[in-house]
Structure 1
Amino acid sequence: MAHPPPLLDAEQAAFISSGLSISAAACQPGALPNLARATGCRVSTDRCTVTLLLSRPASAALLQDVADNGRIAVVFSEPDSHRTLQLKGTDAREVGLEPGDPARAQHHVDRFVARLEPLGYPVDVLRTLLACAPEDLAALAFTPSRGSFQTPGPEAGTPLRSAS
């Protein structure tokens, strides 16, 4: 079965993996939302799958919602510029960790802290917010089926088009 072209182009895939603020949201029945901060992500080489790295204890409700219905929305935002992409998927599922995922999560936290420290955010608070022991790390994969630019300005809300 042929896959549709990826929604993300190479530059967007690199952007979402560059140490950004990553917030994931899912809903339980009755449209009650759950939100969790991701501690990193990886994008498959074909750019068709995005895998979020999350703290299992801090993301338990979101992981349950995804297990129940597969729906997810994720916002990737660069704090210093507010450049933001939102991705949505309907096939989200928990997957096994890859060998480099704990190091990937730590590298993400280090890059995110480095972005926010010059803006006056306390490093200890940031590291506490995103703390995750390697044994508590979970991976949540999905195929981005819709997405949009959410950066403030005239392009806010503009849908992403499939990359060629």
Structure 2
Amino acid sequence: MTPPPVLTPALADFVTSHLSIHIAASDARGIATLVRGLGCRRDPADRDRLRLLVAGPQAEPVLRCLAANGRIAAVFSEPESHRTVQLKGRDAGPCAPDAADAAFLAPYTDRLVARLATLGTPEPFVRTLLACPVEDLRVIRFTPDEVFGQTPGPQAGQRLSAGSAVP
């Protein structure tokens, strides 16, 4: 019997809602590397997969690790509430950005600017942090197979079962 997909509609809605995203991978020695994500979309060809947008120059160490082993951990955090989840997968790899990925960059940045403004983060800082020329855009595609609640508090780090509510 095939287990239910980890990426439920509610979880997909949450992770694609213009959150703060960090993507991690590790090399064969277990040395971790990290890059800031620039957006997340469901893969239109496979709704159980996600497309993570990254700036190529900053993402090179992560992309090398993913090419070697496919293991990924992506953290999605809602700045206003600190509601956070971590998704893990074993099949991560690069794919070519498409027109929809490129079109997603500006709205993602605009929404995160607005979210962080409520916390007093200056707009120029956020725009600089998220700046990525379209020609530098890279996409990481993966199937989440584990989900963990990472919202600060006593239940942080607990594995969530398929169908669990987003913490």
Aligned to 2:42: 43
**Aligned to 2:125, what secondary structure does the other structure show?**
helix
Aligned to 1:80: 80
Q: How does 1:8-157 map to 2 (within 5 A)?
A: 8-44=7-43, 47-157=47-157
Aligned counterparts of 1:147 and 1:42: Cα–Cα separation in 2: 17
**Aligned to 2:37, what secondary structure does the other structure show?**
strand
Report the TM-score when normalising by structure 2.
0.91
Deviation at 1:40, TM superposition (A): 0.2
Contact 1:6–1:47 (8 Å) recurs in 2: no
Contact 1:19–1:112 (8 Å) recurs in 2: yes
For these two proteins, the number of residue pairs brought into alignment is: 163
Aligned counterparts of 2:52 and 2:33: Cα–Cα separation in 1: 15
Structure 1 residue runs without a partner (length 5+): none
State, as a whole percentage, how many aligned pairs show the same letter.
Answer: 47
Aligned counterparts of 2:41 and 2:158: Cα–Cα separation in 1: 24
Aligned counterparts of 1:96 and 1:150: Cα–Cα separation in 2: 30
Aligned counterparts of 2:2 and 2:62: Cα–Cα separation in 1: 27
Deviation at 1:153, TM superposition (A): 2.5
Moved over 4 A (4+): none
Contact 1:38–1:52 (8 Å) recurs in 2: yes
Contact 1:77–1:85 (8 Å) recurs in 2: yes
Report the TM-score when normalising by structure 1.
0.92
Aligned counterparts of 1:87 and 1:71: Cα–Cα separation in 2: 11
Aligned counterparts of 1:59 and 1:118: Cα–Cα separation in 2: 28
Contact 1:149–1:158 (8 Å) recurs in 2: yes
Contact 1:13–1:47 (8 Å) recurs in 2: no
Contact 1:22–1:75 (8 Å) recurs in 2: yes
Residue 142 of structure 2 aligns with an amino acid whose one-letter code is F
Render the CA deviation track for 1:72-96: whole Å, top value 9, x for unaligned: 1000000110000100011101012
Render the CA deviation track for 1:84-123: whole Å, top value 9, x for unaligned: 0100011101012122111112211111111001211111
